[in-house]
Chain A
Amino acid sequence: MKNKGIPILFLILAIVLTSCVKDLDFDQTKDFESKPVYTATILYFDLTQRNFVSGNFEIGTVSDTLDFSLLSNEVFQKQLEKVELRFKISNEFNRGFRIELDFLDKNFLPVQHIDPLEIPAVTSDFEQRIPIVIKDSPLFLTANKLKINIQLKPSSDGSIININQEKKLSFKSSADFYIKIE
């Protein structure tokens, strides 16, 4: 009876000592790569007929500049691969618009020009996507301003906008940021 414990002790020792460890390769973490895509809402505006008429004269261009510091973030500076801008515009005016977007650096110098958006008269479903690939446009990462010019195209018959007639130009935008984490 006294010796019964000894075999059990040996059995346990044998199990522990013969524990096999498979070939694990922790260096595989070097291959780690993740490519998340983040969607962010950017800016929107509604302009009415009152924005384009002053007294009895039409205002040909409305413009504004948005300062932002988003791209100076370390993640974007090092890991941003592509940005895809998306615009959705509806235009109730019987006049076309040309919307110019320029990304500027801190010295107001253009670093990324976007082809102007040509908005036809009376349209409700204008949509455009514009990709910016960072390796082709590295200066984009120095941008900290977005300047937008909204140009009212002249009418074919020389008439001007009726300030009493409710009309709206509605602009919506978003951006998809393609990040590579490695």
Chain B
Amino acid sequence: MRLKTFFVLFICFSSLNLQSQSEKLLYGFPDLPQNLLLNPGAETNLRSHFGIPFLSRLSFSAGSTNGALSELFLNDGVNFNDKLTKLTNRLRSTDYLSVAANIDVINFGYRLSDRTYLSAGFYEELDFTGYFPKDVVQLILKGNTSNINRPFDFSQIKIQGDLLGVLHVGISHKLNSKLNLGARLKLYSGGMNISSIGNSGTFTTREAGNNIYQHEMSNVDIQLNTSGFYKDQTDSLSITSKEAFKNSFFGANRGVGIDLGFTYHITPQTQISGSVLDIGYIDYETNIKNTTIKGDYIFDGVNFLSNVNDPKDYWQDLKDDFKKNVVQERNTNIYSAWRPIKWNGSFSYSFGNKVTQDCFVNNYKQYYDTTVGAQMHIISKPLKDLVTLTAFYEKELSDNIHVKVTYTMDDYSLSDFGVAVSAKFGKFQWYGMIDNIFEIANIVDSRYVSFQTGINLIIE
């Protein structure tokens, strides 16, 4: 039962594939203080803001490139195993599951001077990317008999995941009328981490050697690091989600990182901006369980009767020899895990009605109510960085309502439209963003879903 549950969940989740998070909708969105989390160098005209605790930013994203949940679980009378086989055959080792979630626990900002805005807070983040290790799954589900001479590749095992808390403080500073720079310092508290990247090695069964078949493990080097899953060295998961969250609030796994960003006005109507987020790492020190498997081995079978006058314990000799050549080790060594770095950039052009805004301290700002532009987002992933290109149209519909529509081009979808809206009700500001809006209408068929929402108290 456990094996069954494991396989089905694994394949099901592996068929999910997040393409891009809803960052493209939030990035550059005017007057949203959460924009500063994506570009610490973003311009803001606020006097101060205070995010409603636990509600100022809730975001979740998950999706699929190569299959949807409905494909596997639709009540369509097709044999479940046939659907599963079809799916595992089609999935590639470059397909991956990626889930990302953010909850702002606290987020506030305060204008220090005409030129400088300080923002700070604490948020919880979940980040997980796991690739589909096609060879390993097929070796387990099909066996090697029908795959003689096929090398099963262990380098396809790539997993990286974090549950962490981030305490941050950032400054956005207007250097001159054209350039705005910003930086954010982050102190990470790691709650849970799983990391297995940079693996290598193959397992092959072939017709060779002294026997009918020969098994070869070649250049095997597999490392799995975990922190926060096990309290002891047993194999059963022993940490509760409550304990994991507790660790992410200033627990023992600490790390540090920075975000950097800028906004530059080329002309009054054109601007470029860019940011790099999470240049940093976490040192994992508690509840660690690491496993390494390393070595080479060629096995033709037991060489029986090799010395009839001196009977041997063949099985024990084989186990000893295997252990000597393929070293399996468990340890609790402290390790560091780098945060996945994210890059954002945009170019935009504003036009339309000219609006004059009464800004914070005896200051007026003029801008246009319509903006079009292009954005690029890059998220570092264990196999290949995920790059998305987005075109956007942004419009101020009234003093209180902003709308942004995005169209994203990537390998997976040609109909990825996203919509973001922010609306002010008195001093409260609500925002909501939904990506891939035409597919979300039928959520189980959709390749991915992504949304975020939040409420702020704004003082302009």
Contact = CB atoms under 8 A, between A and B. Distances in A.
A15 B146 contact: no
Interface string B137-151: 000111111101000
B276 interface: no
Interface string B281-312: 00000000000000000011111111010010
B73 interface: yes
A26 B73 contact: yes
A9 B423 contact: yes
Contacts of B398: 1-5
Contacts of B84: 32
A5 B401 CA distance: 6
Contacts of B301: 41-44, 172-174
Interface in B394-438: 397-401, 403, 419, 421, 423, 432, 434, 437
Contact of B80 (A29, A43, A172): A29
Contact of A181 (B7, B72, B215): B7
Contact of A66 (B75, B148, B302): B302
Interface string A15-37: 11011111111101101111011
A182 B316 CA distance: 32
Given A39-B205, A47-B305, A173-B301, A88 B143 contact: no
Contacts of B432: 12
Given A32-B4, A39-B143, A18 B444 contact: no
Contacts of B5: 29
Output the residue of B299, B305, B432 with the most chain A CB within 10 A.
Answer: B305
A: contact size bracket: 35 or more
A26 B444 CA distance: 12
Interface string B1-36: 001110110000000000000000000000000000
B8 A44 contact: no
A182 B169 CA distance: 52
A24 B73 contact: yes
B211 A20 contact: no
Contact of A16 (B140, B302, B440): B440
Contacts of B421: 5, 8-9, 12
Contacts of A150: 305
B112 interface: no
Nearest to B451: A16
Interface in B302-352: 302-306, 308, 311, 313-316
A12 B434 contact: yes
Query: Secondary structure of the B side of the interface?
Result: mixed
A24 to B, nearest CB: 4
B300 A44 contact: yes
Contacts of A39: 143-145, 148, 205, 213
A122 to B, nearest CB: 21
Contacts of B75: 23-25, 28
A43 B445 contact: no
B442 interface: yes
A133 interface: no
A41 B215 contact: yes
B219 interface: no
Contacts of A57: none
Nearest to A144: B315
B263 to A, nearest CB: 25
A88 B301 CA distance: 14
A5 B315 contact: no
B423 to A, nearest CB: 6
Contacts of A22: 70, 74, 442, 444-445
A43 B304 contact: yes
Contacts of A9: 401, 421, 423
A6 B400 CA distance: 11
Interface of B: 3-5, 7-8, 69-70, 72-75, 79-81, 84, 140-146, 148, 205, 210-215, 299-306, 308, 311, 313-316, 397-401, 403, 419, 421, 423, 432, 434, 437, 440-445
12 contacts: A2-B399, A5-B401, A6-B401, A21-B444, A29-B8, A39-B205, A41-B205, A41-B214, A44-B210, A64-B304, A171-B304, A181-B4
Interface of A: 1-6, 8-9, 12, 15-16, 18-26, 28-29, 31-34, 36-45, 47, 51, 62, 64-69, 86, 88, 148, 150, 171-174, 176-177, 179, 181-182
